[in-house]
Structure 1
Amino acid sequence: MSDGGERTRNDRGQYADRIPPEAVLEVFEARDDWGRPLTASDVLEELDCSRRTAHNKLNELVDRGDLRTRKVGARSRVWWRQIDPADVRTEAATDEEERPPEVAAAIGEADLPGSGPRLDARREALSAAYEYLTDHPEAKKADFLRDVYAEHPAGYESAEAWWNAIQPALKELPGVDPPDERGHLWHFLGG
């Protein structure tokens, strides 16, 4: 925190900042998980600064509109970068474009109940389940229910109803190896 030397002062006699607000933004941008908010402790550890400095910089970035903040306990607060929904849609479109055409066609032709926006949501849920399996080549039903259903309920009020609709279609997608009759593990074999 202190480099042993004299700190410089600005024209008004105040200590000059050694940490610009942009350095704090870099802490947010350097992460793999942009969806996870950060605490002042996360920032101060990364920048080797005091808690007061971290709070000041974070609040300055909130005032500028670069960050959002929220109180999460009696004395706790988190900060995050706002994610532009257009960026998320662009990323999702890119993922679909990278998907092999036979997979996209199989998802588009999957026998799922519903029509219109409800059917679209169910195809999106099927796509998310397929993507989950490609990222986790060995998964149990409970994994899908915990990690996919929560974000893609597709109009189903229960995880079991969701699974009863999604899993028959998932079995038919390229590279998917469903469990044997008494087995529990789904596998992705590639493709």
Structure 2
Amino acid sequence: MSQNERGTAGGASVQLSPERVLAAFDGHAPETTGSLAEELNVASERVCETCRTLCDRDALARRELNCGHGTVTAWYRPADAGGDLEDRAEQALAELSVPGTSEMMRDWRRDAVRAAFEFVVEEGPVVESEFTERVFPTQNAGYDDPERWWEMVAPRLAEVPGISPPAEGEVWTSDVGR
């Protein structure tokens, strides 16, 4: 089994962050999962999973290409992916789908996600428990229980461009404002 199949280099686990995958792209030139896995020295499955996450965040796009042996997935950076990350984050926050019976309640919940976004941007790497300790008290969005609040906030915060949810562990990071 090769190092790529194991996802290790020299016996140590190789971290695969969305930022590391994006850095492997040369502008808007397409890359295959295999070429990225080889360049990054990680398993193809991990590269594919990370690329799909980046697609969900609109940082990458994909196209299935027919070749003589079947199909190949080509990943590429969309033309607008180079746009201002802060603008894309603001647009995503404004368009978030949140639960609520009234527009006022939905606005309140969008504000809670925005507050969590601003917290991770301003504070740098943030452990999950810090959101409920420092953001929830002032932005509870109608929730009495911080865990239920976090269940509403976390998946929406993960959708915001420039925010990286924890791949392993509990640390959230941001590329916005760098």
Q: Could you say which structure has the greater relative contact order, defined with CA pairs below 8 angstroms and 6 or more residues apart? A: 2
Higher strand proportion, which one? 2
Per the normalisation by structure 1, the TM-score is: 0.46
